[in-house]
Amino acid sequence: MDKKLLREAVIKFTAGIILVGALLFVPAGTLKWSNGWLFMGVLFIPMFIAGIVMYLKAPALLRSRLSAREKEATQQGVIRYSGLMFLAAFIVAGLNFRFGWTSLPAFVVTGAVIVFLLSYLMFAEVLRENAYLSRTIEVQENQTVVDTGLYGIVRHPMYSATVLLFLSMGLILNSIISFVIMLAYIPLIVTRIRNEEEVLERELNGYVEYEKKIRWRLLPFIW
């Protein structure tokens, strides 16, 4: 058991709960917000389970995802603007509840929860398929191209999962305004993918051939 890795994971997980909770419930002005708690549950319970699985089965992957620091300037910009997007979306969702600006039908919220959880499963499958998966754009030692499973459908299934995850967040929080804010993720992830592919074409053997084999980057028949 790597106690240092466990301690780091627990600290970051706890910090995430506190941060997201503050961004949601402080603007809401109350803890009595069912959609806020629903979102906290569907976000952090699967994350907790995934963290345990990685700690027990793939500690190296967990370590790389906890300690990753982006080196590419383009990717640093994507991360910075993504952070601002999340801040705005969460704060606006809380304010939306406090002031009652908009409301969505219950079936929309329920559908968003289903999409969110299915996207989490997709993300977990990507982690299982690709042992080289990292939070940063880099080519690891002895890395090879993965072209089976979801990687046999699109080149970046992890990002496909995150698009579905992020776009469903505002709907779970019952805020169409937050949903619109989260649409900013689409141009951000397009920028990230283009830059990532430049790096992989340059540094990962076989990736150019993989691009010729798998046409779609993010969504089949769309892009």
* Residue 92: band (very low, low, confident or very high) from pLDDT cuts 50, 70, 90: very high
In the chain, the number of structural domains is: 1
Q: Which domain holds residue 116?
A: 3-213
Is residue 17 one of the residues assigned to a domain? yes
Model pTM score: 0.86
* Residue 223: band (very low, low, confident or very high) from pLDDT cuts 50, 70, 90: confident
Tell me if 192 sits within 8 A of 75, measured CB to CB. Answer: yes
Residue 115 has pLDDT above 90, yes or no: yes
Is residue 223 one of the residues assigned to a domain? no
pLDDT in tens, 153-191: 999 999 999 999 999 999 999 999 999 999 999 999 998
Is residue 124 one of the residues assigned to a domain? yes
Q: CA separation (Å) from 63 to 38, 50, 58, 83, 144? A: 29, 13, 9, 22, 20
Is residue 63 one of the residues assigned to a domain? yes
Is residue 81 one of the residues assigned to a domain? yes
Of 8-22, 25-39, 121-135, the poorest mean pLDDT is in 121-135
Is residue 222 one of the residues assigned to a domain? no
Alpha carbon distance 66, 58 (integer Å):
13
Domain harbouring 188, CATH code: 1.20.120.1630
Size (the chain), residues:
223
Is residue 80 one of the residues assigned to a domain? yes
